[in-house]
Structure 1
Amino acid sequence: MNVWQRMTHKQDPKVYADKDKKLVPSLRTIDLLALGIGIVVGTGIFTLPGIVAANHAGPAVTISFILGAIGAGMAALAYAEMSSVLPFAGSAFSWINVLFGEFLGWICGWALLAEYFVAVAFVASGWSAYMQGLLAQIHLQLPDYLAKATDFKGHGGVDILTVLIIVLCGFLISKGLKNVSRVENTLVVLKVLVILLFIAVGMTAVHFENYVPFIPPHKAGTNFGGWQGILAGTSQLFLVYIGFDAISANTAETKNPEKTMPRGILGTLAIGTTLFVVVSLVLVGMFNYKVYAGNAEPAAFALRKAGHVFSANVLSLVAIFGMLTGLIGMQMASSRLIYAFGRDGFLPSGLSKLDKHHNPSRALWLVTIAGAIVGGVLPFTFLSNLVSAGTLIAFIMVSLGIYRLRAREGVNLPNPSFKMPLYPVLPALSAIVSGIIFWELSVDAKWMMVIWLIIGIIFYFVYGIRHVKQNEPM
């Protein structure tokens, strides 16, 4: 095979099915919903509405969430069909490998790795902010060099709580998927209950004048106000919708994935969007959006400022445990992606080895250690900008992949139990919308993703192309 033939070689789906037999299918629809909602309704719902309102959209942060849901919703339909036909570990990485060939599969997987990897650090960083807010209520405060990541100006040091929680979740996941699912399901129920508590209490402190003007005027030369601010807000908070993307990485460990995975993906998006819209409306109605600038715990802050100190502390306490669901979900997804890289030879094959709990433990601890380093050093707002870039690249590739998938369904691939509606218009529209949101990302985020992809391309030609296992069962 010459280089071009290697790059365009499409993996045989039967090989993936054979390789993934070692993974135990134990996840049900309710487990997928818990994983998805745990990620979607995670750090983002407790942190981003206030930050995006203050920095970009004002009260129109609600519109930013709705636009994000529309963009993510179209991609979710594509993911649902893909996971129904190709129920393999590694989600979009494996799908694109089958449909377009190993080079584009690697590029998609490399972009996903940035998404999952940075998301682990981002979620843990948000958890740390809430934990520090709660500790402050009992007059405990860490020194700056242990409480804050660097701000690139010589301040801060290492966020030690971020490091500790990532390591703790890695240890929990290493004990087996069944145990993780029980913890995840319980924490998700608690988290949804405390979100409903915030909505109920917060509504009593809403002042309608805080909604005026609902769309603040655009400030020239900035990404604040007007539709420019709304779109900039959408690009920053788009990371909250990666929950359905992350659960698709666990397809090989799902019972009856042809039906279960579409239900988990679409159910996650519907529940998550509803909660985001209501929470953001209440939050910006309680106080002028400007008070949330730079605040990584705006929901608890708003309740305290409104005099509901007990409710604020309950929210912080449950949020601290509830955010663990998002962290667990992202660490699981990223470890399964690393497993898939090792399975195919893009990374050393040792990363695909399973332990006695049928966990890819080496992949898990690689993600855990790397995420702890990044989350401990890089600041929260910087991380939130980077997560969305990898997500959007994967969304574009999966949406366009539907055209290749349809041509093979019923020929050499199974007919799906779920199909993306409005074909052939919707897949193209989904890719276009994701492309527009990507364009609205910060300059830093776009450049970081370009650099990340260049590193991935170099790695492919130096290592991957010479080690990839083509059509080789394990």
Structure 2
Amino acid sequence: MAPTENDGLGKFELADRGLRRTMSFTQLLLLGVSAQIGSGWLFGVLSAAGVAGPAAILAWIIASILVGLIALAYAEIGSMLPRSGAIVRYTYLTHGAFSGWIIGWAYWLSAVTIPPIEAIASITYLGGKYPGLHLLEKKDGVDILSWPQGILLGIVLMILFFILNYFGAKFLSESNRWVTIWKLALPTLTFIGLFFVLDSSNFHSFGGFAPEGVGPIFHAIASSGIIFSLLGFRQALDYGGEVKNPQRNVPLATFGSIAIPMVIYTLLQVAFIGAIRWASMGLSPGDWSLLETGKWADGPFFHALDSANLALLTALGTLLLIDAAVSPLATGWVYLGTATRTSYGMAVHRNIPPMFQANNRFGIPWISLIVSTVVACVFFVPAPSWYQLVGFISAAAVLTYMMGGVGLPVLRRTAGSLPRPFRLKQAGLWSLVGFLASALILYWAGFSTLANVFTATFIGLPLFAGYYAWKEGWAPKVPAVVLGVVFLVVWVWIARSGGWVLTADGGQSVGGWSFWPYFIAFAAALIIFCVLLWALCTPVGRLHIERSAWLLWLLLGTLPISYYGFYGPLKNPPLAFPWGTLIEIVLAISAYFWGVRSGFETDEIKDIVDSVAGDGQLPEEQLV
């Protein structure tokens, strides 16, 4: 039966009934691991070394710890409320529809861009090995997909991802099991093989272990693909409505999918740095910042194995070419499923039409799947490279992850009676720590990345005004639509004129505004939109908008700190490391406590609590 306009609100627990709980713990764990061992291991180690030098090894370890801290809050929430499209849905339960829309839109953007970047990774390795296929072309010294061969091949791969997802979560997880075993075996063999040809001088001779100092270690975490590679733990949450015994399996799979990749990636980083041969790269020894333009950039580990001139390692390099297809593609099809469940979750809360909840006979939200596939293909049009897309995806994902830390204390207050198979001890402390971890990773991404991410995130607000607000009866249709259209036009003009968005080199385009005119216009447009929408809304709508002020405070406050900080565009930043980081911590702490106070008992959480009031546990059919 097709969903109706009344599905979702007031019937929150019924929304997932069409999904099927078929996944085992092992399948869920392997989905998380598979999502993290994709293009990150093929390119992330080179990108991280290009930012931090040998100290990139520490960046992987620190990043894994930070991700673990972020996951703590989600372990309790995920075991208590296992839902498909989980992360995007929790914000609605704690802070209402306006915050939920902002976070949901950012989360969907991060998820829907991962399948194309994984396809780009496979095509880049293939095109680097076989240049006669003309899959790549050079732009500003970086390999990007060519037109038509490279981009059309990417679209074909997206169609393959669609087919694998269409036939159900069980089909996806079963096919993923064997692929993941392969994906674990090849990286393991690679770092074992390269350990025999390590050049120890690479770790200390060319500028020392941290040639650029401590600051770049943290920048590498956010911008080079490290966080991008480690955020797959969310698969255990996003598929929570389709797993058996979710209260036990969701938290176990969450932490397992962090620990396994941490070990593998750290060892791979050590092996790659030791395997660097500067002459083979066409670079002078110690040119860490130029690694992405060197001759190894289109296939770092393949070239590392090939340059060793050992028959066994050359053979392993051939297997690596096969893995360059298998690992990213397996990750890509998993994340297309994530994007599908994200739009499904948004439809449950009626931020988008309820048709996005419609399931096929395999229990898959098929309309959401089609839309996610089409939008993902759009990201091939600008013909980006892996290195250019990864920072955007990482920052957009981390923006959404901070909601676990601020959401858990709210759920302790508003849904204290719900069963908690996993209960986090000292939850107040660890929620704050996880929130700070997310905020700092976001700050470390750098000003240019944040300008792009925040612009893309808020460009979705006209849809909230023009569809959700009037559908809920919060605002009259015509004024809401007009407000959305005007904001969209102004927002695009600011982005274009400011010169910080969609630039080829990640900097500012010629003729762009200086920071303060840009920031004032950016902040003013956003605040005026929110104030006018608030004025149009009923008291209920106003409540939802008001309870999102803390989030806008955090995001807008981060921009000037980032601009004047170590990770901004200024050559001599006044907020040199660690001062910018310390100021960001103060800002994040204020936002955290404001955010916790802003959480309230939403209609959805009331619905859930009422459903367990009788016997203290969710009915079996409602655990999906």
Which residue does 2:171 correspond to in 1?
179
- From the superposition, tell whether residues 115 and 203 of structure 1 become closer, same or farther in structure 2 (CA, over 3 Å): same
Which residue does 1:188 correspond to in 2?
180
- From the superposition, tell whether residues 195 and 217 of structure 1 become closer, same or farther in structure 2 (CA, over 3 Å): closer
- From the superposition, tell whether residues 23 and 75 of structure 1 become closer, same or farther in structure 2 (CA, over 3 Å): same
Which residue does 2:217 correspond to in 1?
230
Q: Deviations over 1:387-434 (max 9, x none)?
A: 1112211121111111112224442xx221112343211111111122
- From the superposition, tell whether residues 153 and 33 of structure 1 become closer, same or farther in structure 2 (CA, over 3 Å): closer
How many Å separate the matches in 2 of 1:148 and 1:400? 44
Equivalent position amino acid for 1:202 in 2: L
Residues 1:464 and 2:468 aligned together: yes
Which residue does 1:221 correspond to in 2?
none
Of stretches 324-333 and 206-215 in structure 1, the one that deviates more from structure 2 is 206-215
Identity of aligned residues (%): 20
The residue correspondences of 1:20-59 to structure 2 (distance < 5 A) are 20-54=16-50, 56-59=51-54
Equivalent position amino acid for 2:228 in 1: L
Which residue does 2:87 correspond to in 1?
92
- 5+ long unaligned stretches in structure 2: 1-7, 279-285, 474-602, 609-624
- From the superposition, tell whether residues 20 and 322 of structure 1 become closer, same or farther in structure 2 (CA, over 3 Å): same
Residues 1:81 and 2:73 aligned together: no
Residues 1:437 and 2:426 aligned together: no
Figure out how many residues of one structure are paired with residues of the other and give that number: 449
SS in structure 2 of the partner of residue 22 of structure 1: coil
- Following TM superposition, by how much is the alpha carbon of 1:322 offset from its aligned partner in structure 2, in angstroms? 2.3
Residues 1:103 and 2:90 aligned together: no
How many Å separate the matches in 1 of 2:410 and 2:184? 39
8 Å contact kept, 2:358–2:365: yes
Q: Deviations over 1:142-168 (max 9, x none)?
A: 23xx53597699984453332221221
Which residue does 2:133 correspond to in 1?
142
SS in structure 1 of the partner of residue 123 of structure 2: helix
| Structural RMSD (CA) | 2.6
Residues 1:302 and 2:304 aligned together: yes
Larger Rg: 2
- From the superposition, tell whether residues 97 and 149 of structure 1 become closer, same or farther in structure 2 (CA, over 3 Å): farther
Equivalent position amino acid for 2:292 in 1: A
How many Å separate the matches in 2 of 1:179 and 1:65? 32
- From the superposition, tell whether residues 433 and 299 of structure 1 become closer, same or farther in structure 2 (CA, over 3 Å): same
- Following TM superposition, by how much is the alpha carbon of 1:247 offset from its aligned partner in structure 2, in angstroms? 3.4
Which residue does 1:367 correspond to in 2?
372
Equivalent position amino acid for 1:426 in 2: W
- 5+ long unaligned stretches in structure 1: 1-10, 219-223
Residues 1:71 and 2:66 aligned together: yes
8 Å contact kept, 1:148–1:379: no
- From the superposition, tell whether residues 304 and 20 of structure 1 become closer, same or farther in structure 2 (CA, over 3 Å): same
- From the superposition, tell whether residues 163 and 25 of structure 1 become closer, same or farther in structure 2 (CA, over 3 Å): same
How many Å separate the matches in 1 of 2:34 and 2:433? 28
8 Å contact kept, 1:79–1:398: yes
- Following TM superposition, by how much is the alpha carbon of 1:213 offset from its aligned partner in structure 2, in angstroms? 5.0
SS in structure 1 of the partner of residue 132 of structure 2: coil
8 Å contact kept, 1:128–1:162: yes
How many Å separate the matches in 2 of 1:279 and 1:309? 17
How many Å separate the matches in 2 of 1:181 and 1:85? 23
The residue correspondences of 1:61-460 to structure 2 (distance < 5 A) are 61-134=56-129, 136=130, 141-143=132-134, 146-148=135-137, 156-157=146-147, 159-160=150-151, 161-212=153-204, 216=208, 225-236=212-223, 237-287=226-276, 290=288, 292-294=291-293, 295-307=297-309, 308-375=313-380, 377-411=383-417, 414-460=418-464
- Following TM superposition, by how much is the alpha carbon of 1:215 offset from its aligned partner in structure 2, in angstroms? 7.3
| TM-score, structure 1 normalization | 0.88
- Following TM superposition, by how much is the alpha carbon of 1:78 offset from its aligned partner in structure 2, in angstroms? 1.4
8 Å contact kept, 1:118–1:386: no
- From the superposition, tell whether residues 31 and 153 of structure 1 become closer, same or farther in structure 2 (CA, over 3 Å): closer
SS in structure 2 of the partner of residue 209 of structure 1: helix
The structure with higher relative contact order (CA 8 Å, sep 6+) is 1
8 Å contact kept, 1:151–1:378: no
How many Å separate the matches in 2 of 1:196 and 1:235? 25
